[in-house]
């Protein structure tokens, strides 16, 4: 069975028209889908409304106790259920989950070093068989990146990392493709030129872009996890604009060598 893991941004929950358009494209996918989402835009708005300082480093959120409460409300609440509702409207039987449900995603709290990340988790393991119980019944899991720490605590985990880890864990059960939806439409050779989308990207290409500092902070975790998923056995990884989902000719294909 084919299973496509699709990581989408939480911005869609802010616009019902865009969300319904995305859901219609997801509904058209062959085989089964697993959706992993973020929610950073809503979390930022909530932090600002509540006068909670926010900090990001290399595209990753520093998460103190107050920020954790906000991210749980945003990611596991409004964003998750908005995506589930849109999929249901599109005819997809979806179920909203977080990494802590059924211990789907267990993480280790990132140790404080030069940077104290607070309640941030790094994925240790994914319960692929728990996800498969939904997939095998024709239910599309929609997973927010609130994960479970070893001691049962909630942790905020980068959604790109969760998507990559979920894809890597499912390769023993399905033929897995991984898609990262990106507003840029793919990886840009020149960040200042939106038309410079690379059709393919190898490790060597990525290293060259790193040396030129041509990769945006938000793109770094996507590329890191794209290559990890390929190493784990994913059949393909692509970065593409949400409007081009399902179009194999668009976006950037990540190539392992």
12-21 CB contacts, 8 Å cutoff, 24+ apart: 12/82, 12/83, 12/86, 12/242, 13/39, 13/42, 13/78, 13/79, 13/82, 13/83, 14/41, 14/42, 16/86, 18/242, 19/82, 19/83, 19/86, 20/86, 20/89, 20/90, 21/242, 21/243
Average pLDDT over residues 61-84: 93
Average pLDDT over residues 102-111: 96
The string of pLDDT tens digits covering residues 195-233 is 999 999 999 999 988 888 888 878 888 999 999 999 999
In this predicted model, which residue has the larger pLDDT, 170 or 61? 170
| Token reading at 247 | 């179009």
The string of pLDDT tens digits covering residues 111-139 is 988 888 999 999 999 999 999 999 999 99
| Residue 87 banded pLDDT, cuts 50, 70, 90 | very high
pLDDT at residue 54, as a whole number: 87
pLDDT at residue 254, as a whole number: 96
In this predicted model, which residue has the larger pLDDT, 137 or 248? 137
Q: Chain-wide mean pLDDT for the chain?
A: 92
| Residue 148 banded pLDDT, cuts 50, 70, 90 | very high
The string of pLDDT tens digits covering residues 151-164 is 999 999 999 999 99
Q: Is the pLDDT of residue 59 over 80?
A: no
Q: Is the pLDDT of residue 68 over 80?
A: yes
Query: What domains does the chain contain, in order, with CATH numbers?
Result: 2-254 (3.40.1160.10)
The string of pLDDT tens digits covering residues 27-53 is 999 899 999 999 888 888 999 999 999
Q: Is the pLDDT of residue 13 over 80?
A: no
**What is the distance between the alpha carbons of residues 239 and 123, in angstroms, rounded to a whole number?**
21
């Amino acid at each position: 069975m084919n299973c496509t893991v699709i990581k989408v941004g939480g911005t869609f929950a802010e616009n019902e028209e865009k969300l319904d358009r995305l859901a219609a494209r997801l509904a058209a996918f062959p085989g089964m889908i697993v959706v992993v989402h973020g929610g950073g835009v809503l979390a930022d708005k909530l932090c600002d409304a509540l006068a909670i300082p926010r900090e990001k480093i290399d595209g990753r959120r520093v998460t103190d106790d107050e920020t954790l409460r906000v991210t749980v409300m945003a990611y596991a609440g409004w964003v998750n259920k908005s995506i589930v509702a849109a999929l249901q409207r599109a005819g997809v039987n979806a179920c909203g989950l977080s990494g802590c449900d059924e211990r789907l995603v267990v993480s280790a709290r990132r140790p404080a070093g030069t940077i104290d990340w607070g309640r941030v988790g790094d994925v240790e393991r994914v319960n692929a068989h728990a996800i498969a119980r939904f997939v095998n019944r024709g239910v599309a899991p929609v997973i927010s990146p609130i994960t479970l720490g070893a001691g049962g605590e909630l942790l905020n985990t980068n959604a790109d990392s969760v998507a990559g880890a979920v894809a890597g864990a499912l390769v023993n059960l399905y033929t897995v493709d991984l898609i990262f939806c990106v507003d840029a439409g793919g990886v840009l050779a020149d960040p200042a030129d939106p038309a410079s989308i690379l059709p393919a990207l190898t490790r060597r290409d990525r290293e060259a872009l790193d040396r030129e500092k041509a990769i945006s902070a938000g793109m770094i975790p996507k590329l890191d996890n794209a290559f990890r998923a390929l190493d784990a056995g994913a059949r393909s990884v692509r970065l593409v604009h949400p409007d081009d989902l399902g179009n194999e000719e668009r976006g950037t294909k990540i190539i392992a060598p």
